[in-house]
Amino acid sequence: MTERRLPPVTQVGMTSLALIVAGGIYLSAHLPNRVPLAPAIVLLAASALLLLGNLVSLQRVEGFAWDRFIDVAKWALLAYAITAGLIEYAFVRNHLSGGPLIVLTLSLVVYAVHVPMLIGFTVARYA
């Protein structure tokens, strides 16, 4: 039995999520004082580039079960958008503003897109 060759979507996705978590921990460790944003922005940019690379590499897979992927990923995206929204609400409710809020919001967007993509990929790869 031959298995088709797939890009390392899961490994890249977990690396991307680790970068997001590291950036969040870095920002949280400095709050409520002034936060130097450069390291968090670098981590966010690297994570976003990994997300983009994952999407591009997945798009190039021939015969991928896109129908199954979309069926699963859209519901996971809804769930993760809700959780990201709740986390965002907590940030705003705790009076986080300015640069740290923007970086954390963008980090939540990467999180809310990458996890559903990983869930959809995991299901579609065996379809």
Q: Please name which of 40, 53, 56, 12 lies closest in space to residue 105, comparing C-alpha atoms.
A: 40
Measured CA to CA, the distance from residue 30 to residue 40 in angstroms comes to: 11
**Residues 58 and 64: beta-carbon distance below 8 Å:** yes
- Can you say whether the dihedral through the CA atoms of 120, 50, 113, 22 is positive or negative? positive
Q: Residue 123 corresponds to which tokens in the numbers above?
A: 């299901």
pTM of structure: 0.89
Q: Which residues lie closer than 8 Å to 114 by C-beta, 6 or more apart? A: 13, 16, 17, 20, 47, 51, 54
Q: Is the pLDDT score of 99 beyond 80?
A: yes
pLDDT in tens, 32-79: 888 899 999 999 999 999 999 999 999 999 889 999 999 999 999 999
Q: Please name which of 79, 23, 27 lies closest in space to residue 48, comparing C-alpha atoms.
A: 23
Any idea where the domains of the chain sit in the sequence? 9-124
Q: Please name which of 64, 73, 70 lies closest in space to residue 114, comparing C-alpha atoms.
A: 73
Peptide bond into 32 cis (omega under 30): yes
Counting residues of the chain whose pLDDT is more than 90, the rounded percentage is 81
